Amino acid sequence: MRRCALLLSLLLISLLLLATTPDENSLLAGYSAASSRSEREWEGKFRAIPTQQNLRDYMQRLSARPHHVGSPYDKENTDWIMSKFKQWGLDAHVENFDVLFPTPKVRVVELVEPTKFVAKLQEPALAADPTSNQQAEQLPTYNAYSIDGDVTAPLVYVNYGIPEDYEKLERMGISVKGAIVIARYLHSWRGIKPKVAAEHGAIGCIIYSDPNDDGYFQGDVFPEGAWRPREGVQRGSVMDMPIYPGDPLTPGVGATKDAKRLDLKDVKTITTIPVLPISYGDAQPLLAALRGPVAPDDWRGALGHTYHVGPGPAKVHLKVQSNWDIKTIRDIIVKIPGSTYPDEWVVRGNHYDAWVNGAEDPISGANALMEEARALAELLKQGWKPKRTIIYCVWDGEEPGLLGSTEWAEEHADELRQHAAAYINTDANGRGYLFAQGSHTLEEFLNDVAREIQDPEKNISVWKRGQLKQIANAKSDEERQEIRKRSDVRIGALGSGSDYTVFLDHLGIASMNLGYGGESQGGIYHSIYDDFYWYTHFGDTDFSYGRALAQTVGTAVLRLADADVLPYDFTDFADTIHRYLDELEKLAKDKQEEIRERNTELEEGVFSATADPKQIFVPPPKEDVPPHLNFAPLENARDALTRSAEHYQKAFDKATKNGDLALSPASIQSLNAELLQSERKLTSTEGLPGRPWFQHLIYAPGQYTGYGVKTIPGVREAIEQKKWKEADEQIARAAKALQDEAALISSAAALLEK
Amino acid sequence: MRRCALLLSLLLISLLLLATTPDENSLLAGYSAASSRSEREWEGKFRAIPTQQNLRDYMQRLSARPHHVGSPYDKENTDWIMSKFKQWGLDAHVENFDVLFPTPKVRVVELVEPTKFVAKLQEPALAADPTSNQQAEQLPTYNAYSIDGDVTAPLVYVNYGIPEDYEKLERMGISVKGAIVIARYLHSWRGIKPKVAAEHGAIGCIIYSDPNDDGYFQGDVFPEGAWRPREGVQRGSVMDMPIYPGDPLTPGVGATKDAKRLDLKDVKTITTIPVLPISYGDAQPLLAALRGPVAPDDWRGALGHTYHVGPGPAKVHLKVQSNWDIKTIRDIIVKIPGSTYPDEWVVRGNHYDAWVNGAEDPISGANALMEEARALAELLKQGWKPKRTIIYCVWDGEEPGLLGSTEWAEEHADELRQHAAAYINTDANGRGYLFAQGSHTLEEFLNDVAREIQDPEKNISVWKRGQLKQIANAKSDEERQEIRKRSDVRIGALGSGSDYTVFLDHLGIASMNLGYGGESQGGIYHSIYDDFYWYTHFGDTDFSYGRALAQTVGTAVLRLADADVLPYDFTDFADTIHRYLDELEKLAKDKQEEIRERNTELEEGVFSATADPKQIFVPPPKEDVPPHLNFAPLENARDALTRSAEHYQKAFDKATKNGDLALSPASIQSLNAELLQSERKLTSTEGLPGRPWFQHLIYAPGQYTGYGVKTIPGVREAIEQKKWKEADEQIARAAKALQDEAALISSAAALLEK
């Protein structure tokens, strides 16, 4: 009996392995049988090249000194990277842009009442960490693109400083009008915090890292552990990137020397109130001096005192003044021309500028990019000829506001719209699971790539490990079963926060962002402690995941560049749109029910009966129940998309049923040309309401999340912001784009059937 | 339009008020029209008598000095309470019992490695708090009924020290065998912590109050605020009360002078390992010295350091030695004989002993009891004659282990089984909402009483306020709608933790526990700071809820004592049993699904794929999927119960349809005699598995919760503990009791139809 069970288990395991290991003889998506075989060989050769030692060496070199925009060592890195590319025989050049990049001149945070305390605003060198003492070259702790200001006012603690926090403050009868707010990092991109604070009337904003979120509450602090030490500060940009990223002076065009520039006073993406980031060491006396109501449960952090909201009696003086200089940034561009379809481009990028030494962010991604480039150069020497043109980009100026990628892509917008088939991004990398986000037309493609990569810690593919992790994390049995049954693991949608933004959101180029993580966490983000010492003790310490990243992205680049037909898959895309529409319909219904229920509770007296008379409580206002929206256009578009996706899949399967592509070279070229434009159909030149730079109608960073994605953003944000007329308009617009996409897919299918 | 809406709102509000205010002319449950009228008058008079000033005066007197079991001031309180009762003209006497009550002789907690630290184990006097300096009379901080012991061992942090915490430790590869565990208070009754620790091989147990749970994380600490200061300690009993409460030497019988006593070595309710409670001031150095894995997210408290689990390198020396003395406790008993049914007793109690000064616990309940007694004495003088006998009990020795109530009820067990119609308990009282728990045959009765009481803070009844609070707290729309539609607000079931235990769980007397709270929280429980200063600054500071409590309980006592027919309602009871059975069936099904899913995940490799190789992780074992249980006997019993309850209700409505009870006095007497036994039918003399003292088959404190209730406990705990055969046996036994109950109800209904 026991023996039988064992045999059965072995059999099951073998079947599972069979089901998840790519079949060596199957067709790669977009490939004929012959090209599948050759591609598999080249990919195998490619993946054998990257070494952990090289990755380590690149990181040690590139993170040896602070290398922010405009710093001497950033220039040294440009030259060194260029020299490596040249040494490997690649065709590399530098493109310069001149961008607005403010650096701090005056920074003051002080408690002036009820007691005095002056914030240090300085991260100390640590004996164990050899690069932490490079103070002369370190950029001081600040938030880039904070407006200059000098304000003194009572302090109010606003939790994460996101819209729902201000709703809670309203229920507590607390206004931030005329106050300085102190918000903790996380739960939104940092630039949202001063924006929302200002919208509510605050005159200054302090952002701090609570030890609950990335300090001692999470684990031992650096250098004993990976987490943020007492005086560690997260620098970062607070530019209003959900309006437009890139150089604030040149929206929509490349910041070349002669570009037309806005006056500083006309710029919309600089904060309207002064902002500074501080450590929890500096925050503690400020927060401890607050009184007023005790903060709600989930607002309380891990500082050893009671969290009060204020306002006051703590009064704070905040002063920020910057040098508003124009700096030159240098993007490094490598071109490998395509042999068959030179006018179809596969673009791959990672930035190399950092806030300080930036070993993790961005060098743990940039070193993989370099190692990929070296491996591609090797393959070229061995006779490999990519069908498509490959462009490798090492971006400068990502940290202040995606400057390098945005300006380059704006400068080359027309060519990119014409030629770019896909953009592949990476940024910081760590130990653990493959995180893949991107356009859902690439979901199947990404799944196929992930099936090829072996996890460095486990004897399974990174695809399998990711799937099992999703099963472990699933919140319901239904979700678990879907993960088990679906052939592809779902990928997330892209918001913002790295260099894919301009490609996807502005130009409508199918994009993806790849990285490993989940096991190597820490609290050194954007601080002087994000350096080689930290990374080699607490990150991907042996660079095995760096190697996996180079293998993953390189395989993706190769497979995109060499495919006979661009391997977009519209079935997963249609399935995803189905889900998004379900979500939107539920969101609209939930809003109705929520308001209806709240109105009932107001009528029956729930709020007045449950308010503690010893605390101030302002009941929410009665609101009109939202109208029903006309989702029919989106429902019809979804159905059309589903039909055309099935049509295309059937036509493609038929065209390749004998292992060869039963199409003339000219037809294949037309087909590829058609497919290349498929993501572009999802954009509108009018862009999203209030932010025309964002032209993708399916993916965008949220106006009040900053990094976090909003899918079908025009509709979703209109519902969230209770703009019912706009919601109906945006439904029509998104539906039109999806109908156009369906038409393109049908047309591509017809080409296959010719 | 707006005007119409306003009118409609006013109309709606009036209708709501009509629906929730008791109709002055309706029949009270169990009353004829004539007796309803007279009862309403007496109740009105009663509720006018209690004064806030008296409650304040009683508290100031009774909590002026420490008054634990055996202390001089406990004796002074006995005499003073007796003198008050006598002064009011009541028939009061004292009953003495001699009980085992250990008090501390030696207490040591010290860190011996890697550094030295000796715990203070002393709560400091605070200048603002006038009684906190009575050190000579204060009982030191300790856990009563800890076994003597002297151990030195590595420390392990076990979170709340409940069974699931040890499961998590097992997954982390950590054993507590031979270790001293440190657990935080809450999430189980404290006595469970050393019990579970010992079951897992620990040799000592320290319990501390984390500031996350009742210290500065919750709010400002005493004396600035209500919460536990740095050196505040929760004393308390760790006797294994889920086996049996009361004097450990005399289980099941009253601890009279000549009672047969167990040898100390044969006692099963004393802990098997030494235990001491400490403050967070004393805990901090111990916890900070731990290393090993970082504690799971939800194990981390609010001390400003990283929480590690250990074991070690912290090594701790723990020594406990007690004086194992016999002390005399004094219960105060007041009898008001019944005029019509003197052999039917309504019993009401609250304890008066405390751990130290005990203003909140128990005097905020004891003062209401006294004020009720004074008001009853007033009514008697005005000519009121209760139909039933009323017994007021002021218990001694509750804190160490429900000693006074248990010994008295064991001593009078036969009489109580024969005569007791109900037991009404109170204990600590605060500001906010009425919390009512009890036998569900009294659910409707309690709802009716709550409808009569005006909330001191809001212009609505405490019933309405409670209902609106439940709506506010509801977790689903379904739940909310049920609350809105159901005529009665559901009451909770009774576990343990106060003096109702012996009445309900051992003797099967329908019981209830009443108190106000939810708005006046704090962290002074069982510390020297639970005193008059604290209570008058942070508790029910003006005693308006004390007055409401006296009004609530007094109304309940009067209405039970004066009813023509005992006002048990079996419809709510049957409805509740329905829910419990649904819960049990779901529990059994969930267990199956949980194990089935876990086995699948073990097979597909989820656990090995998601384990971080840099941390120890032990996957859970594969388990047999639990068998299906035979719930049919309980389903049949539930249906029989529902039918008989409907039958009784119909018969009762018919018998009272003209406002008079269409029954002879002899029939009413028989009916009452039958009804009086209804709760007794729910008991079994064999008791629950492994703990025969607990005889109620519907309600019991959990073996691993201590205070928290387990309903239909024999079945529920068998399922939880995976004892499938026992579960089937217990289903049959509980079903038998419910069938007997149904038969009794049918028989009562038949009496009404005669």
Q: Does a cis peptide bond (omega within 30 degrees of 0) precede residue A114?
A: yes
Q: Residue A627's CB: how many other CB atoms inside 10 A? A: 12
CB within 8 Å of chain A, chain B residues 131-170: none
Instruction: Inspect the interface and report whether the beta carbons of A460 and B605 lie closer than 8 Å.
Output: yes
> A520, A432 in Cβ contact below 8 A?
yes
Cβ neighbours of residue B714 under 8 Å, at least 6 residues apart? B688, B689, B697, B726, B730, B733, B734
Instruction: Inspect the interface and report whether the beta carbons of A609 and B219 lie closer than 8 Å.
Output: no
> B158, B314 in Cβ contact below 8 A?
no
CATH of range A100-323; options 3.40.50.620, 3.40.30.10, 3.40.50.300, 3.50.30.30: 3.50.30.30
Would you call B2 an interface residue with chain A, using a CB distance cutoff of 8 Å?
no
Average pLDDT estimate for A103-131: 98
> B30, B340 in Cβ contact below 8 A?
no
* Average pLDDT of chain A, as a whole number: 96
Compute the distance between CA of residue B310 and CA of residue A731 in angstroms, rounded to an integer: 56
CB within 8 Å of chain A, chain B residues 292-331: 294, 300, 302-306
Identify which of A590, A589, A599 has the alpha carbon closest to the alpha carbon of residue B5: A599
R_g (Cα) of chain B, nearest Å: 27
Burial category of B1 from C-beta neighbours within 10 Å (exposed 0-12, middle 13-18, buried 19 and up)? exposed
Tokens 């002021």 found at: B394
Region label for B12, one of left (φ > 0), alpha (ψ between -120 and 50) or beta (otherwise): alpha
**Per-residue pLDDT at B313:** 97
Alpha-carbon distances, residue A52 vs A461, A530, A541 (angstroms): 19, 20, 10
Percentage of residues in chain B with pLDDT exceeding 70?
A: 97
Instruction: Inspect the interface and report whether the beta carbons of A603 and B217 lie closer than 8 Å.
Output: no
**Per-residue pLDDT at A23:** 67
Would you call A612 an interface residue with chain B, using a CB distance cutoff of 8 Å?
yes
Alpha-carbon distances, residue A452 vs A464, A512, A538 (angstroms): 10, 17, 27
Percentage of residues in chain B with pLDDT exceeding 90?
A: 95
Instruction: Inspect the interface and report whether the beta carbons of A9 and B457 lie closer than 8 Å.
Output: no
**Chain A residues within 8 A of B464 when measuring between CB atoms:** 605, 609
**Per-residue pLDDT at B22:** 55
Instruction: Inspect the interface and report whether the beta carbons of A614 and B216 lie closer than 8 Å.
Output: no
Q: pLDDT for B225-242, tens place per residue? A: 999 999 999 999 999 999
Work out the pLDDT band at A662, boundaries 50, 70, 90.
Answer: confident
CB within 8 Å of chain A, chain B residues 38-77: none
SS3 A422: strand
What's the predicted TM-score (pTM) here?
Answer: 0.94
Compute the distance between CA of residue B517 and CA of residue B304 in angstroms, rounded to an integer: 30
Alpha-carbon distances, residue B387 vs B41, B233, B335, B342 (angstroms): 15, 47, 13, 7
> How many residues comprise chain B?
754
Instruction: Inspect the interface and report whether the beta carbons of A221 and B306 lie closer than 8 Å.
Output: yes
Least confident of B7-21, B95-109, B272-286, B666-680: B7-21
Instruction: Inspect the interface and report whether the beta carbons of B601 and A472 lie closer than 8 Å.
Output: yes
Distance from CA of A302 to the nearest CA of B (A): 6
Read out DSSP for A234-250? --EE---TTT--S-TTS
Instruction: Inspect the interface and report whether the beta carbons of B460 and A609 lie closer than 8 Å.
Output: yes
- Strand ranges (E), B683-744: 699-701, 709-711
**Per-residue pLDDT at A706:** 83
Cβ neighbours of residue A277 under 8 Å, at least 6 residues apart? A141, A142, A143, A185, A190, A206, A207, A208, A209, A233, A234, A235, A236
CATH of range A570-753; options 1.10.10.10, 1.20.930.40, 1.10.760.10, 3.40.190.170: 1.20.930.40
**Does A270 score more than 70 pLDDT?**
yes
Convert B479-500 to b/e letters by CB count within 10 Å (16 or more is b): ebeebeeeebbbbebbbbbbbb
Q: What separation, in Å, do the N-terminal and C-terminal C-alpha atoms of chain B show?
A: 59
Burial category of A48 from C-beta neighbours within 10 Å (exposed 0-12, middle 13-18, buried 19 and up)? exposed
Would you call B219 an interface residue with chain A, using a CB distance cutoff of 8 Å?
yes
Instruction: Inspect the interface and report whether the beta carbons of B468 and A303 lie closer than 8 Å.
Output: no
* Average pLDDT of chain B, as a whole number: 96
Burial category of B546 from C-beta neighbours within 10 Å (exposed 0-12, middle 13-18, buried 19 and up)? buried
**Per-residue pLDDT at A15:** 44
Distance from CA of B610 to the nearest CA of A (A): 6
**Per-residue pLDDT at B19:** 45
Instruction: Inspect the interface and report whether the beta carbons of A468 and B217 lie closer than 8 Å.
Output: no
| Residue B647, token pair as written in the block | 């039958």
Distance from CA of B304 to the nearest CA of A (A): 5
**Chain B residues within 8 A of A225 when measuring between CB atoms:** 306
**Per-residue pLDDT at A10:** 44
The residues facing B181 across adjacent strands are B156, B205
Q: pLDDT for B554-595, tens place per residue? A: 999 999 999 999 999 999 999 999 999 999 999 999 999 999
Question: What fold, for B26-99+327-470+502-562?
Answer: Aminopeptidase (3.40.630)
Would you call A458 an interface residue with chain B, using a CB distance cutoff of 8 Å?
yes
Instruction: Inspect the interface and report whether the beta carbons of A306 and B457 lie closer than 8 Å.
Output: no
Instruction: Inspect the interface and report whether the beta carbons of B604 and A468 lie closer than 8 Å.
Output: yes
Q: Residue A7's CB: how many other CB atoms inside 10 A? A: 10
Would you call A19 an interface residue with chain B, using a CB distance cutoff of 8 Å?
no
Average pLDDT estimate for B35-62: 98
Would you call A626 an interface residue with chain B, using a CB distance cutoff of 8 Å?
no
Instruction: Inspect the interface and report whether the beta carbons of A597 and B480 lie closer than 8 Å.
Output: yes
Compute the distance between CA of residue B17 and CA of residue B460 in angstroms, rounded to an integer: 9
User: In degrees to the nearest 10, what's the CA dihedral of B654, B659, B662, B667?
Assistant: 100
> B496, B710 in Cβ contact below 8 A?
no
Convert B331-348 to b/e letters by CB count within 10 Å (16 or more is b): bbbbebebebbeebbbbb
CB within 8 Å of chain B, chain A residues 566-605: 593, 597, 601, 603-605
Alpha-carbon distances, residue A148 vs A274, A275, A276, B34 (angstroms): 6, 9, 11, 82
CATH number of the structural domain A39-99+327-442+499-562: 3.40.630.10
Instruction: Inspect the interface and report whether the beta carbons of B220 and A306 lie closer than 8 Å.
Output: yes
CB pairs under 8 A between A and B: 101
According to DSSP, the β-strands at A91-113 and A117-118 are antiparallel
CB within 8 Å of chain B, chain A residues 468-507: 468-469, 471-472, 477, 480
CB within 8 Å of chain A, chain B residues 269-298: 294
Instruction: Inspect the interface and report whether the beta carbons of B468 and A610 lie closer than 8 Å.
Output: yes
Instruction: Inspect the interface and report whether the beta carbons of B519 and A304 lie closer than 8 Å.
Output: no
Facing A469 at nearest CB: one of B219, B468, B610? B610
Query: Minimal Cα distance from B472: which residue of A?
Result: A606
Would you call B16 an interface residue with chain A, using a CB distance cutoff of 8 Å?
yes
Which ranges of A605-688 does DSSP label H, i.e. alpha helix?
A: 606-610, 632-655, 665-676
> A404, A395 in Cβ contact below 8 A?
yes
R_g (Cα) of chain A, nearest Å: 27
Work out the pLDDT band at B210, boundaries 50, 70, 90.
Answer: very high
**Does A7 score more than 70 pLDDT?**
no
The residues facing A696 across adjacent strands are A683
**Per-residue pLDDT at B242:** 95
Distance from CA of B216 to the nearest CA of A (A): 5
Facing B605 at nearest CB: one of A468, A606, A608? A468
**Per-residue pLDDT at A22:** 55
Instruction: Inspect the interface and report whether the beta carbons of B219 and A294 lie closer than 8 Å.
Output: yes
Compute the distance between CA of residue B548 and CA of residue B426 in angstroms, rounded to an integer: 13
Return the sign of the alpha-carbon dihedral for residues A435, A441, A443, A449: negative
Query: Minimal Cα distance from A297: which residue of B?
Result: B218
Would you call B458 an interface residue with chain A, using a CB distance cutoff of 8 Å?
yes
Q: pLDDT for B413-435, tens place per residue? A: 999 999 999 999 999 999 999 99
SS3 A308: strand
Facing B471 at nearest CB: one of A218, A480, A601? A601
Instruction: Inspect the interface and report whether the beta carbons of A16 and B604 lie closer than 8 Å.
Output: yes
Compute the distance between CA of residue A594 and CA of residue A600 in angstroms, rounded to an integer: 10
Return the sign of the alpha-carbon dihedral for residues B87, B91, B92, B96: positive
For residue B33, give the amino acid letter: A
Question: What fold, for B102-322?
Answer: Glucose Oxidase; domain 1 (3.50.30)
**Per-residue pLDDT at A485:** 97
Would you call B201 an interface residue with chain A, using a CB distance cutoff of 8 Å?
no
ipTM: 0.93
**Per-residue pLDDT at B325:** 96
Query: Minimal Cα distance from B613: which residue of A?
Result: A457
Instruction: Inspect the interface and report whether the beta carbons of A211 and B304 lie closer than 8 Å.
Output: yes
Convert A81-102 to b/e letters by CB count within 10 Å (16 or more is b): bbebbeebebebeebebbbbbb
| Residue B321, token pair as written in the block | 């030695």
Burial category of B136 from C-beta neighbours within 10 Å (exposed 0-12, middle 13-18, buried 19 and up)? exposed
Compute the distance between CA of residue A519 and CA of residue A212 in angstroms, rounded to an integer: 18
Least confident of A16-20, A337-341, B428-432: A16-20
**Does B8 score more than 50 pLDDT?**
no
Instruction: Inspect the interface and report whether the beta carbons of A219 and B432 lie closer than 8 Å.
Output: no
Work out the pLDDT band at A707, boundaries 50, 70, 90.
Answer: confident
Taking each helix axis as running N to C, give the angle between helix B724-753 and helix B632-655, from 0 to 180 degrees, rounded to the nearest 10: 20
**Per-residue pLDDT at B707:** 85
The structural domains of chain B, with segments of one domain joined by +, span 26-99+327-470+502-562, 102-322, 570-753
| Residue B326, token pair as written in the block | 């016999």
Facing A604 at nearest CB: one of B220, B468, B608? B468
**Does A403 score more than 60 pLDDT?**
yes
